[in-house]
Amino acid sequence: MTELESTFRRIHRELKPRTALPTIKTEFYPSVGANHSATLEDGVLQVRVSDLFTDAPLEILETVAIILLSKLYRKKINAERQKDYRRYTMSRHMLERGRRVRTERGRRTPTTSPQGRCYDLDTLFDAINLRHFDPRLPKPKLSWTRKKARSVLGRYDFDQDVIFVSRYLDSDTIPSHVIEYILFHEMLHVKHGTQIQGLREIVHTPAFRREEKRFTHYQAASDWLARH
């Protein structure tokens, strides 16, 4: 009997002491995140736990069992256990492991040439880098999105190390300082990365926001985006 199976058997007895123990089948399975499941059908409890947790401490495996079985049987989940689980998943060790696994296993977003119809992201990046970043910022891959998205004008994919800029901005109707500001914003994500505050991963830190306002045409770009 594996440690995972024995853990679920023990937690099941604690949560459902007057219920006959079902046949329990557990497995660690390849996953790109902290995704787990527990289903009960025909007296068989099938448990699947992300293989990111294969070396997790026993108390974390117990917490996973408590959370999954509580959801399955519609019982209130212990709040402290939920916090313990959140702390573990938000630890630097687990975040770095998750990013590494997503890079290896995840579906990669297709990229395009940085040369657009009106703007060249490579040229813009080099100019912004020279003007705003000291020392020079390492250049990630630069790509236009395949669709002209207007809801998300730019994003930095930490896993792929790619800055994506919406193709909507590759137009002679878009002022150059607007697209430069969007690219500058994503370059700040490359520089600042993420920070853990409490039980959250923060991408727009106070330092990030302060530096963002130093962009040469910050107010003009912000005003244009607010109007459009």
Domain CATH for 142: 3.30.2010.10
Asked whether residue 200 carries a pLDDT value surpassing 80, the answer given is no
User: How far apart are alpha carbons 108 and 111 in whole angstroms?
Assistant: 9
Last residue of a domain, one of 53, 80, 105: 105
88-140 per-position pLDDT tens digit:
998 888 988 988 888 888 778 899 999 999 999 999 999 999 999 987 899 99
Same domain, 168 and 193: yes
Last residue of a domain, one of 50, 75, 105: 105
CB 129 within 8 A of CB 139: yes
CATH number of residue 81's parent domain: 3.30.2010
| DSSP label of 90 | T
Asked whether residue 3 carries a pLDDT value surpassing 70, the answer given is yes
Same domain, 221 and 125: yes
137-190 per-position pLDDT tens digit:
999 999 999 999 999 999 999 888 999 999 999 999 999 999 999 999 999 999
User: How far apart are alpha carbons 122 and 139 in whole angstroms?
Assistant: 9
Closest C-alpha to 221, from 153, 157, 164, 155: 153
39-88 per-position pLDDT tens digit:
999 999 999 999 999 999 999 999 999 999 999 999 999 899 999 999 99
Same domain, 145 and 75: no
Closest C-alpha to 190, from 136, 150, 149, 147: 136
Q: Mean pLDDT for the chain? A: 93
Predicted local distance difference test score (pLDDT) of residue 199: 65
Same domain, 96 and 141: no
Number of domains in the chain: 2
The reported pTM is 0.71
Same domain, 95 and 138: no
Query: Residue 152's domain spans which residues?
Result: 121-227
Distances 94 to 36, 57, 86, 160 between C-alpha atoms, Å: 15, 13, 11, 18
**Helix or strand run (H / E) with residue 141:** strand 141-144
Last residue of a domain, one of 105, 134, 166: 105
